[in-house]
Structure 1
Amino acid sequence: MLKIGHRGAKGYVAENTIDSFKEAFLLGADGIELDVQLSEDGEVVVIHDKTVDRTIANASGVVRHFTSDELWRLGDVPTLNKVLHWLPRNKFINIEIKDKKAAHPTVLLIDNFTLNSDLLYKNIVVSSFDWEILKVVSALEPMTKIGVLTEDNLEATFDFAKEIKAFSVNVDYKLLTPEFIEKSHQNKLQIHAWTVNSPEDITFVKNLGVDAIISDFPDRL
């Protein structure tokens, strides 16, 4: 079972920062999950919200209205390029695309790294709640592992995951049932449960037999 740090080690360090990713690995994570959007200068940047208001002190506004340099200077927001350069090559990364305009640049970055470094496709999953984004990613680079994100309709998610030949179904853990997990495994779909933080919930999800757990507290997994 993979242990994945949610936005790094979000429970301990500011989310989606290099420091948070470092902490996740120090706490025993096998991989990290992060979110990407597009900056004003067209860079893929690692930040969850459409605005900077929640995560950058003394700044407000839409992410797309800031350059990547401004985001880095104001709030330690790294580019995906920077994270991929830094990422240990034996670690797993789940890249969640929040902005459809970031889909093509993200695929290009992944292609570049898999061609010019020892980072492998097997260590990368691209996920999104917007399934149209996943269709774009799959069409651009069929080798990309796809993670279908959902927080509601498991049946529709399962059907789409099969249609797009996804690698995993990334599910709100509260929705999981033994039957759904068994059906997914029979169809060669991994189950990645998010965001599981309490010891009781972690035990519950482990007993279900999921393939990965995404948590703010990777040391608890």
Structure 2
Amino acid sequence: MSEILKFGHRGAKGYVTENTLASIQKAMDLGVDGIEIDVHVCKTGELIVFHDFTLDRITNGTGEIGKFSLSEIKQLKVEKLYSIPTLTEVLDVINNTIIINIELKGENTAKPTCAIIQDYIETKNWTMDNFIVSSFQEKELVDVFNHNPKIPLGVLTKASVNQALVLAKKINAKAIHPNLALLSKDNVKQAQEAGYKVNVWTVNTKQAIERMKRYNVDAIISDFPDRL
């Protein structure tokens, strides 16, 4: 049985507010192999690390994140305590020590993500092995593939493992990222025999973690990475 990689979901979401630098640092302190974060493009073009399309759930702002400039976003507080980070701020905290799974949430996130990845490889000695770019959005994944086919891709799905495999083949993805509820021992094996890694989300309970380990998935993404 191969070693199953431990990924923190939006940092260490179960302990510190999601997608904040503090949450990412907490995940690293817990000894993760990687973290998963989400990105949107803001009004001024920067990549912002934030899950929702609107600010309302966890910040003191309201409205669509894509309609705010970086300076406006930096004035907001997440749960009265944290700032919303940029992708480059997150990469600088990680400092080439673990894998980062960048989920493309918003539209038009593919090309600026590719540019940042290339910059960190060329100027900061990162390698492609440090990155996974994933998305539910086929268009964004295709855009990454067309822009730089060397970037490792993960096809996110909460609907169908088979559909994810079809897209994975089309864009030469390295992995599929299925929701926990979709997996059986058989379809994990099927995906792996087809040449894809299976990185499953979001796995939090002891029973679910043990089941995913029995299925021998390649990585488990959890809000509580210390449980893995």
Q: Tell me the TM-score range normalised by the shorter chain.
A: over 0.9
Matched residue, 1:120: 127
Which of 2, 8, 11 is 2:5 aligned to? Answer: 2
Say if 2:182 is the partner of 1:166. Answer: no
Q: CA deviation at 1:47?
A: 0.4
Q: Give the residue type in structure 2 aligned to 1:70.
A: E
TM-score in terms of structure 2 length: 0.94
Q: CA deviation at 1:175?
A: 0.8
Name the SS of the counterpart of 1:101 in structure 2: coil
Equivalent residues, number: 220
Gaps of 5+ in 1: none
Taking the aligned partners of 1:12 and 1:137, their CA distance within structure 2 comes to 32
Q: Give the residue type in structure 1 aligned to 2:40.
A: Q
TM-score in terms of structure 1 length: 0.97
Which of 59, 69, 72 is 1:70 aligned to? Answer: 72
Taking the aligned partners of 2:84 and 2:110, their CA distance within structure 1 comes to 19
Gaps of 5+ in 2: 78-82
Q: Give the residue type in structure 2 aligned to 1:100.
A: E
Name the SS of the counterpart of 1:99 in structure 2: coil
Name the SS of the counterpart of 1:174 in structure 2: helix
Taking the aligned partners of 2:69 and 2:57, their CA distance within structure 1 comes to 18
Matched residue, 2:224: 217
Name the SS of the counterpart of 1:191 in structure 2: strand
Q: Give the residue type in structure 1 aligned to 2:164.
A: T
* Alpha carbons 2:37, 2:49 under 8 Å: kept: yes
Taking the aligned partners of 2:220 and 2:101, their CA distance within structure 1 comes to 12
Matched residue, 2:80: none
Matched residue, 2:23: 20
* Alpha carbons 2:109, 2:140 under 8 Å: kept: no
* Deviations 1:194-215, CA, capped at 9 Å, x for gaps: 0000111101111100000000
Q: CA deviation at 1:189?
A: 0.3
Taking the aligned partners of 1:71 and 1:202, their CA distance within structure 2 comes to 36
Q: Map residues 52-201 of structure 1 onto 2, 5 A cutoff.
A: 52-56=55-59, 58-75=60-77, 76-201=83-208
Which of 20, 41, 45 is 1:42 aligned to? Answer: 45
Taking the aligned partners of 1:90 and 1:14, their CA distance within structure 2 comes to 22
* Deviations 1:124-174, CA, capped at 9 Å, x for gaps: 000000111100001001110000000012211111112211111001011
Q: Give the residue type in structure 2 aligned to 1:154.
A: V
Matched residue, 1:206: 213
Q: CA deviation at 1:26?
A: 0.9
Question: In percent, how many aligned pairs have the same letter?
Answer: 40
* Alpha carbons 2:25, 2:93 under 8 Å: kept: no
Q: CA deviation at 1:100?
A: 2.1
Taking the aligned partners of 1:210 and 1:88, their CA distance within structure 2 comes to 27
Q: Give the residue type in structure 2 aligned to 1:64.
A: G
Q: CA deviation at 1:90?
A: 2.5
Q: CA deviation at 1:187?
A: 1.8
Taking the aligned partners of 1:123 and 1:129, their CA distance within structure 2 comes to 21
Moved more, 149-158 or 188-197: 149-158
Name the SS of the counterpart of 1:158 in structure 2: helix
Name the SS of the counterpart of 1:32 in structure 2: strand
Taking the aligned partners of 2:58 and 2:73, their CA distance within structure 1 comes to 11
Name the SS of the counterpart of 1:144 in structure 2: coil
